[in-house]
Amino acid sequence: MIPPAVARLSRVWFPSGGIAVPGVEDAHSKLIRAGLLRQSNAGMFHILPLGRRVQDKIERLVAGHMEELLGASRVSMSSISAEALWERSGRLENVASELFRFSDRRDVPYLLAPTHEEEITSLVARTVKSYKELPLRLYQITRKYRDEFRPRHGLLRGREFIMKDLYTFDSNVESALETYHQVRAAYSRIFSDMKLPVVSAKASSGDMGGDLSHEYHLPTPLGEDRVVSCQGCDYVVNEEIADSAVSEEVVGEDSLRVWRSITKDRTKLVNVWYPGRTRMQHSGEPREYTDQDINLSAVKSVVPDLDAGVEDALPFWLAATAPQTSTATEVVNVLDSRLPLSLTERLWDSSSDPAYWPAGLSPPTSPLPIRGVGCKERALNLLLIRTGDKCPRCSSGMLKQDRAMELGHTFFLGTRYSEPLGALTTVPPSSQPSPMQMGCYGIGISRVMGAAAEHLADERGLNWPVAIAPYSCIVIPGNHAVEGDTLEVYQQINQIMGEGMQLHDVVVDDRQRSLPWKLADADLIGFPVIVLLGREWRTGRLAEVQCRRLGFKQAVQVADLPSVLNQLYARL
């Protein structure tokens, strides 16, 4: 039997070094400088060999849990989807601005798939006919495309990215919800195996559809989401759907402010009235609010067709109410429940007071239909939760807000796609076909790579969790270590291969570089463990084991290397 070859860095192409360190270097810059990736276009990246090893490890870890814990079968779907299918699902226009769209030579419209709900549902609708074939669980790991308006933070917000999708089909709601909870448990295992402190937060389903979803967030200052959690109970939600206990804020008579938007059909001007200044009853703490504090999800709960992407509603409203137009228009007042009755009464039935209209927008010359929402009809908290608000679930807890990056999302879709796309099955005793109950579950593979780098990087370089590191350990021979000694140490470390470890997960740095350069490069790349054959080896045949993240440095006998490394790996 031919023994496996030794993994050597001299045989791996990765252009590390040679790039000047910027004044303030984020993890994305370190990924480039360490030679793991290079940008090809805005929001698009070439993954180089070391980066590919990280990506492969994430994919293998996720795929293993999909198959072993959930019994899912792996598929590979086309990256090209027909626009006609998205029209059938009713989703095309809602997400059109984020799609890469094109036509073939016969002028048939297609798009590069940002997700595959339509395609997988169509496939199952054509293939599965009997309830006996359910439950069905199909997953893929593939490239996705989204025409981000402003791609940023490298792999964290790209226009081309690697995604794991799991799609599930069940015959009834009870079975589908059981599947949903099984997948959530698998997700917890996945992120636990990566040693990433990911939190699960209840979330809005957005354009995906359905009425039950959870996001999986890694706390980071670069995160574009905000997660609200209670310090006294297990209440954890996305800020968009967060609620708080009855507000204890006192609102002054002179603090009324308004934020204006418009509906997608341009027929309704939406005035969102909220307090600009408040004072907390229990502490006297003053609070200031601006338009940036408006909770758009709360506004959408009463005005579902709000166009949240419009920053200035004035031009659209002027066009809609121009004398030459005959469009029926309406003014909608949405009132925050903090506002005292003395302020809300005059807003409820009329918006004709000039004081309530911004410069350049005169009050209507003839009465417009006025509709008020809030205060009288239901208590509306139109402002985003802040740290220090009271928890709505427990009596003593206080809420805390943190920035976070979404790494995964689970959705219970119900019949959102199966009904319009005809994924039906007949379940006895009924003789009538009914839509299958669906779920979809995503994990951003490339985003996990970028987020893990960002979460653990320090001033010296990257710091990978051992489960997804390009190599779990690097052996660096000093100037006086001979090839036989290096191979002896290499083989001894390879003895600890077990669950989660792979052949050739240890690598020898045999490049023709100085020892200080190799050590600095190993720190930049972020190998979890360094085994140095330096001065201690020359004088006493002791290998120096280093782990920067744990602050560990110890001279170790060769025979003890497996035991020491296993203890370190358990913490990494």
In this predicted structure, which of 100-104, 153-157, 341-345, 495-499 has the lowest mean pLDDT? 495-499
Report the sign of the C-alpha dihedral through residues 400, 406, 408, 413, in that order.
positive
CB burial readout 147-184, b (16+ within 10 A) else e = beeebebbbbbbbbbbbbbbbbbbbeeeebeebbebbe
Segments in 429-482 forming alpha helices (H): 445-456
Q: What is the pLDDT of residue 370?
A: 46
> In the prediction, which pLDDT does 168 show?
98
Q: Which two tokens stand for residue 174?
A: 């009870």
pLDDT of 500 > 50? The answer is: no
In angstroms, the CA 425 to CA 435 distance is 6
- pLDDT, residue 224, reads 81
**What local confidence, expressed as pLDDT, does residue 345 receive?**
64
Q: Picking from 68-82, 177-191, 327-341, 530-544, which range would have the lowest pLDDT averaged per residue? A: 327-341
Is 68's pLDDT higher than 70? yes
Q: Residue 457 pLDDT > 80, yes or no?
A: yes
- Name the band, by pLDDT with cuts 50, 70 and 90, for residue 358: low
Residue 2 confidence (pLDDT): 42
- The yes-or-no verdict on residue 318 having pLDDT over 70 is yes
Helix (H) or strand (E) holding 60: helix 49-68
Rounded average pLDDT over 372-383: 62
Of 480 and 106, more confident: 106
Q: Under a CB-based contact definition with an 8 Å cutoff, are residues 377 and 423 in contact?
A: no
Higher pLDDT among residues 66 and 225, named by residue: 66
Residue 1 reports pLDDT greater than 50 = no
Percent of the chain with pLDDT over 70: 88
The answer to whether residues 197 and 219 touch, using CB atoms and an 8 Å cutoff, is: yes
- If you average pLDDT over residues 4-29, what whole number do you get? 81
Query: Which is more confident, 68 or 211?
Result: 68
CA distance 416 to 398: 36
pLDDT higher than threshold 70 for residue 29 = yes
**DSSP 8-class letter at 152:** B
| Cα 176 off chain centre by | 23
Return the axis-axis angle of helices 483-494 and 561-571, rounded to nearest 10°. 50
Per-residue tokens: 270: 């939406």
The pLDDT of residue 503 is above 70: no
Q: How much is the pLDDT for 453?
A: 95
Task: Return d(Cα 439, Cα 279) in angstroms, integer.
Answer: 44
Per-residue pLDDT at 501 exceeds 60: no
| Structure token digits, residue 211 | 């009425």
The answer on pLDDT for 244 being more than 90 is: no
Domains of the chain, first to last: 28-229+400-453 (3.30.930.10), 249-373 (no CATH), 471-571 (3.40.50.800)
Which pLDDT band holds residue 240 (cuts at 50, 70, 90)? confident
Angle formed at CA 342 by CA 338 and CA 345, multiple of 5 degrees: 95
| Distance in angstroms (rounded) separating the CA atoms of residues 248 and 32 | 49
Placement of tokens 């997948």 in the chain: 183
**Runs of H (alpha helix) within 99-218:** 117-127, 173-193
**Cα 251 to Cα 215: distance, rounded to the nearest angstrom:** 34
Cα–Cα distance for residue pair 291/272, rounded to 1 Å: 9
Q: What is the mean pLDDT of residues 297-310?
A: 82
Give the pLDDT of residue 327.
Answer: 75
> Given this model, what pLDDT does residue 273 score?
83
Greater confidence (347 vs 423) lies with 423
pLDDT at 414 over 50: yes
CB 564 within 8 A of CB 545: yes
Instruction: Calculate the alpha carbon distances from 457 to 25, 29, 75, 326, 465 in Å.
Output: 10, 11, 34, 59, 11
Residue 220: the pLDDT is 85
For the cut 80, the answer to whether the pLDDT of residue 86 exceeds it is yes
Q: What is the C-alpha separation between 34 and 273, in angstroms, rounded?
A: 51
pLDDT one-digit tens code per residue, 255-270: 788 888 888 888 888 8
CA distances from 286 to 129, 381, 556 (A): 62, 18, 59
